[in-house]
Structures are given as C-alpha cells and as structure tokens.
Amino acid sequence: MDEPEQRRWQPRDDEPGSSTGVDLDVVRRLALVSSRMSTGSVLSETLQVVSDGIVEVLGFGVAAVNHVLPSGDFQVVALTGPPELREELADAVTPRADMVRALDRAVHWGRLRFSPHETFDEDEPAQWVPDVPVRDDPDAWHPLDMLLAPMWDEDGEMVGVLSVDLPPGQLQPTRLLCELLEIFAMQAGLAVGAVEMRERYLEERSNRERLLVGMTRRDALTGLGNRRALAAALAGAVDGARRTGRPGAVLFADLDGLKQLNDERGHVAGDEALKAWAAAVVAVVREDDLVCRVGGDEYVVVAGAISEPETVQMADRLRRIADQDDPALGGLTLSVGCAAVTGDAAPEDILERADRAMYEDKSRRARARA
C-alpha cells in the first residue's frame, strides 16, 4: 500500500538537548511498558497499558486505543488524557469503512498515518479536539491534526489503531519520537494479538468443557437429562422450596408395555417409541420443568413452585398422551406417581415416594382394566 512520494509526511528532525527530544531513559521506560504489555492476561488491561505508555513514556498529551470488534468496526476501549476526553470518546465506535478510508487518505511515514488539519473531515474516526490555541509556528501542532498508528498481530491482521494527540511541546513530533511510536505500535499489536489468541483459546476450552458437562448429563437416546441431571435438579428444587417456601413436585412416570413392544417388534421400534414419548412428555409439561430419563422406560419430571392441584393436572396430561392417535408412541400407556418437593425433605426420599406412587398408579390402572 505504497503512497506517492508527495503524500509522505516528514516529521521534524531531532534537536539535541531540546525538551521535545527523546533520551535513552525514555527508551528504557518504553521497554518496561512493552514488558508489561506482553505479560497482560486481560485484553482491557493490556490496551490500557498501551494507552498509558504513550502518554507516560512518549510524552503525548492524549492517547486512545481503537480496538477491532468482531463486526470489524473499531471501538475506543482505552483512553489516557484529560477527564473530558473520556466523556467524549469512551466506547465511541468508528465504522470500519470510515477507519480504512482515514488510514488510506492520510499521509504516511513508515507505519504511521498523519492527517493534517488542512484535510480534516468530520467523517474521520472519533477524535477529541483539544482546546488549545492555533499558533503561526510552522512546526506547531494544530488542534485538528491527527496521528494514527495501526497495530497488526503476528499474522498481519489489524487488531487496532492508536490515535495520539498533543505531542511534547505541542509541536510536530520529531523523527525519533515517531520511530519510537512506530515501534511501540508494533509491539502493542503483537501483545494484543497474543492476548486475543489466549482469550479465544480459553473461550473455546470453556465451550468444550460446557459441552462435555452437558453430554455427561444427557441421555444418549432421547436427549433428555439423565440421573446426574436429575440429582442436580432435585437438589436445586429442594433448595428453592426451602428459600421461597413454595413447594415443587416430582412426577415419576413409567411406560406400560415396553417389554412386550420390544419382544414383538424389536428394540429398534422400542427405541423409537421411547424417543417419541420423551418428546411428548416435554410437550405437556411447563417450559421450565426438567424431564429426565432415568431407566429403560422411566421418565421423571422435576417441577418447581407448583401447587398440588396443578401437579395432579400435569399427571393427568401425562397419562392422556396415550390417547393421541400417534403410531410413533407404539400403543403404550403411562403410569404416573407424584411427590411434593419441600425444603425439609431429602431428594432421594422425594424420588422414592414418587416411585412408590407410580407403582400404586400402575396397579390401580391394571385392576381397572381387568
């Protein structure tokens, strides 16, 4: 992206002994800041180190770090300077097209981009205009001047843009100062890229761990919760009942006739019926209720904050699933037993009561069919 020679910007030559020059102490301090950047573990902290270093070490009065968002736009995420700077620029977003246009139209000096006040455009990236007088000195820094330093990671991807203002002495920055800013931006880009890579790795690892945890709590056939999920849900329901004083309920359901279906039509047909019944049970309970498959033909519903009449109604809806004209259900029926979830009962005792109630329901319905 080379520019014609006439568009290149030339910083001021260094003046030995000048207050706007840069001595070896600055180089040493700059190395210390670079070390702090490379050891940063949080992106926001690393970006603030970058911003502070530009002001504290290089002597600019203002520094802003524009970080590339996942959308490709640029957001101001770190600022160093006067208090009013933060009021105007904090979290400001510049569309990517505007930032790229500003970088392309600016005059170049190495990796730096200088936008002189003569070409000031209101569509430039978010900028704070300092309240300083305009001087006639040709070397003076104009309030509308803008110096940008793009940051690239080790793969050559732009990760942000540094925007600096008010150079030392409010004069155009010297050649050495620009070289140091250029080096600082290069190191900052590598540091930011490294932190972003580490954060992406940690996020991916966290996602994998959540996925693995989810897999260990899911029934492979139906996708419902398994016994591990049931144990966690029951403990949570008991705790919720204890805290709120509102009881929940456990509904223990068992399919009638699955063994016969497996014997007559095979286990593939039985598995298909189990999956169809799982979907049907989920469809008739409340959205926040948890449905688990805990045995070959057993389903358990954990319902929080539910009254006894509502529990009875839910049990009736579960039994009436068999009335649906759906061949996928395999012609099976469902026996259901209920137990209240209170804050003073052990989860295993609640589950046992619901299991006993289910067998009582199964026996009662068998006698009714006899």
SS3 at position 11: coil
Contact 257, 246 (CB under 8 A): no
Helix axes 258-265, 267-284, angle to 10 degrees: 140
Helices (H), ranges, 16-151:
24-38, 43-56, 83-89, 96-105
Contact 306, 247 (CB under 8 A): yes
Contact 111, 150 (CB under 8 A): yes
Per-residue tokens: 308: 């006894």
The residues, any chain, with a CB within 8 Å of residue 70's CB and separated by 6 or more, are none
SS3 at position 219: coil
Contact 218, 233 (CB under 8 A): no
Tens-binned pLDDT, residue by residue, of the chain (370 aa):
444 444 556 777 765 544 444 455 666 666 666 666 666 567 788 888 888 888 888 889 999 999 999 999 999 988 999 888 888 888 889 999 989 988 988 888 888 999 888 876 666 666 778 888 888 888 889 988 889 999 998 888 999 999 999 999 888 898 888 888 988 888 888 888 887 887 777 777 777 766 555 556 788 899 999 998 999 999 999 999 999 999 999 999 999 999 999 889 999 999 999 999 999 999 999 999 999 999 889 999 999 999 999 999 999 999 999 999 899 999 999 999 999 999 999 999 999 999 999 999 999 988 877 6
DSSP, res 21: S
Query: Considering 297, 316, 325, 361, which one is annotated as catalytic?
Result: 297
Contact 30, 179 (CB under 8 A): no
Please give the model's pTM, rounded to 2 decimal places.
0.53
Catalytic residue flag (residue 297) = yes
